[in-house]
Amino acid sequence: MPLPEKYYVSYNCVHKLCKKSAEELLERIGKPDLIIGIGGGGFIPARILRTFLKHDGEKNIPIQAIGLSLYEDMGNQDTIGTEIVRTQWLDFGALEKNFDSLIGKNILIVDEVDDTRTTLHYALSELYKDINEKAKSLGRDIHDTKFSIFVVHNKMKAKRADIDESMMNGGVYLSGEDVPDKWIAYPWEANDIDDHTRRAVEQGHD
Ligand SMILES: O=P(O)(O)OC[C@H]1O[C@H](OP(=O)(O)OP(=O)(O)O)[C@H](O)[C@@H]1O
């Protein structure tokens, strides 16, 4: 049986989706105070997005990295993708020095793809939990801390987890594009970038 065709995406395509989405984000939530990229796939879109979220002459928006890995239990279909391991997390110490903590800030979480939504669910709920604990310890309220989410691609499929809007405090969820449930081939994974880009162009994703 032939392998299912992958959904090829070029660097230009990612760049343009980030540009278009940054304009929408600025309209809907204003300029974020902090971008949190979920590694590894979220790092490149996070950096591209920053270019378009900042106006000339303004300070760069800081980007923090978090690392999350999905451990799939292939033996049990019910638990696939349910275990997430933090491989890297925010350094509140460093953030406090340079950033006066995250409480009350406009925070944008970025990843390249929303597949089963497990990762985004985890990232939002754990960030909320940690910042809420911090807020409580300082006698402050988390409700003016806005959490938004941007993904380059959202796969149109049944999700395994939800994004809890009540944690977003007025923030938004935005995808650059909603796509079919196919294997997305991103350019940073390509061995032969010229061949990859040609395929992306052929599919109209350039
Ligand atoms: O919606 P989900 O089903 O949770 O899947 C999406 C996640 O899966 C991929 O991460 P992966 O762990 O493959 O690592 P990578 O980002 O380093 O490529 C991707 O970068 C997302 O973070």
Sequential DSSP letters for 140-179:
--STT-EEEEEEEEEE-S--SS---GGGTTT--EEEEEEE
From CA 201, how far away is CA 206, in angstroms rounded? 5
Ligand 1 centroid distance, CA of 24 (Å): 24
Whole-number pLDDT of residue 56:
82
Instruction: Write out residues in the chain with pLDDT < 70, as ranges.
Output: 1-3, 72-82, 94-100
* Ligand 1, CB within 6 Å, residue ranges: 38-41, 69-70, 81, 111-119
Catalytic residues: 115
* Domain-wise residue ranges, the chain: 6-98+114-202
Tell me, what's the ipTM? 0.96
Name the phi and psi angles at 3, rounded to 5: -70, 145
Closest atom, ligand 1, to C-alpha of 69: 12
- CA 56 / ligand 1 centre spacing (Å): 33
Give domain 6-98+114-202's CATH number out of 3.40.50.2020, 2.60.120.960, 3.30.750.24, 3.40.50.150: 3.40.50.2020
Preceding amide of 40 cis, omega within 30: yes
Looking at residue 97, its pLDDT comes to 59
d(CA 72, ligand 1 centre) in Å: 11
The reported pTM is 0.92
